[in-house]
Structure 1
Amino acid sequence: MVDLIKETFGLNKPIYIKDIELTLGVSNIYAKKLLKKWVDTREIRRFSQGIYYFPEKSTLFGEKPFDVDEVIKDRYLGRKNNPQGYYSGLTLANIAKITTQVPAIRSIVTNMEKGNGRNIILGKIKVRVSKPKQNINKENVAALSLLDLVSTAKKYSEFSRDKTMSMIQAYARKMQISKQSVRNSLEAYPAKTSQELIMMGVYDVLA
């Protein structure tokens, strides 16, 4: 059974208890028993509560570090055809290259958060999750990300106004964000964000 799970999910990828239940057609209780057995025999590793993985060997260091980003995608960001979130705040500013500062806590806006936001620790990575201004989907995820970036650029940018504008314009082009998707999302933001979008010349470069 363990070979089937390894073949199905591969190495260094997150495996959840539900995955075991569905793949093997077993109950939740039996899936947990199997996972405990495999952890005890070191056939599988336990990353944190409810999250497991098959280790991938490294020629230099024994085992490669577990890819926590895959858990973040599964839980908070979603996948390309079904996005559930996006990076925000200082994390987004770093991605857009308007700051070189690496955030100690990754900020994520996600449909998975319904409250006032909370801090989460995944392995050694700290994550702050917040609820979105609009429900996130594949039509608006890039637009919401851009509007967040525009509204916080002054706070996070290390560069001049002109340089910051140029970099955000480049980010918008790279993401191929449409004017229509931005217009559909603007109602969730204050008027100042709309003004900044135009004054920074970002709206003009949208598809």
Structure 2
Amino acid sequence: MLKEYLEKNYGFNEPIFINEIRLDGFNDNALRHYFKRMLKSGDLARFDTGIYYLPKASRLLKKSYLDPMKVIVRKYIQSTTETYGYFAGATFANQIGLTTQMPATLEIVTSKESTKGRTVTVGSQTVRLKRPATNITSENVGLLQFLDAVSQGEKYSELSDSETGILLKNYAKQQNYSKELLSSVLSGITGPTAKKLIEWGIIYEFTL
């Protein structure tokens, strides 16, 4: 029963967080017992404390493998029903073209973190976690990620200040952010970030 449930709800080589499973007839002790049995039989594999996956070898690798990035995204950024984080810093700066460098440490802003900054390791990947200045939702996550990039633009950009401003302005235009959405996150915008929005002309790209 448990194996069929996991296959249906998670699939193979996808992260399974044992503390999130709620099944009628399975209390915590029973669930741990069945997980141990599945581990012993090879039907289940352990990635880290409390994190498992259903192993299925690929034709290419000949071995089952759980991508640490899937665990990172699931744990700190989003589930199938909720969004609670985003990539920030040099990671996002690379994604939008401010830098060609790929950081060794991923930076993530997430509602799952309560400190101003903490470094963890997931698999072999180092991750720097920070709490958000305002609550992250599926509606505002893109804008919050962008505002984070504006605030740290010069820190990570390989471009000149004017080129950085132009790139960010064009990005805002492409994303079609609304003034209403901007108003909803004003409490999380610092003075220096607000100043950059005006000086780089980004503020004028927000739609009515």
Q: TM-score under structure 1 normalisation?
A: 0.88
Q: Does the 8 Å CA contact 1:120/1:126 hold for their aligned counterparts?
A: yes
* 2:129 aligned residue: 129
Shift of 1:153: 0.4
Q: Does the 8 Å CA contact 1:89/1:107 hold for their aligned counterparts?
A: yes
* 2:149 aligned residue: 149
Please show how residues 47-126 of structure 1 align to structure 2 within 5 Å. Answer: 47-79=47-79, 82-126=82-126
Q: Does the 8 Å CA contact 2:57/2:65 hold for their aligned counterparts?
A: no
Deviations for 1:98-157, whole angstroms, at most 9, x for unmatched residues? Answer: 011111111111111112321111111111111111121233322221211111101110
Shift of 1:12: 1.1
* 2:202 aligned residue: 202
Please, which moves more after superposition, 65-74 or 192-201?
A: 65-74
AA of the residue aligned to 1:16: F
CA RMSD of aligned residues (A): 2.1
Distance in 1, matches of 2:191 and 2:151, equals: 10
* 2:190 aligned residue: 190
> Match of 1:25, SS?
coil
* 2:25 aligned residue: 25
Shift of 1:196: 0.7
Q: 1:11 and 2:8 equivalent? A: no
CA gap 1:13/1:113 in 2 versus in 1, 3 angstroms = same
AA of the residue aligned to 1:15: I
Count of equivalent residues: 206
> Match of 2:13, SS?
coil
Q: Does the 8 Å CA contact 2:85/2:110 hold for their aligned counterparts?
A: yes
Q: Does the 8 Å CA contact 1:17/1:28 hold for their aligned counterparts?
A: no
* 1:34 aligned residue: 34
Moved over 3 A (4+): 173-176
Shift of 1:14: 1.1
Distance in 1, matches of 2:75 and 2:139, equals: 20
Distance in 1, matches of 2:154 and 2:202, equals: 14
CA gap 1:25/1:18 in 2 versus in 1, 3 angstroms = farther
Distance in 2, matches of 1:100 and 1:201, equals: 24
* 1:158 aligned residue: 158
AA of the residue aligned to 2:34: L
AA of the residue aligned to 2:10: F
Q: Does the 8 Å CA contact 1:80/1:138 hold for their aligned counterparts?
A: no
Provide structure 2 residue ranges, at least 5 long, that are not aligned to the other structure: none
Shift of 1:174: 3.9
Q: TM-score under structure 2 normalisation?
A: 0.88
Q: Does the 8 Å CA contact 2:176/2:205 hold for their aligned counterparts?
A: no
Provide structure 1 residue ranges, at least 5 long, that are not aligned to the other structure: none
Q: How much identity, in percent, do the aligned residues show? A: 33
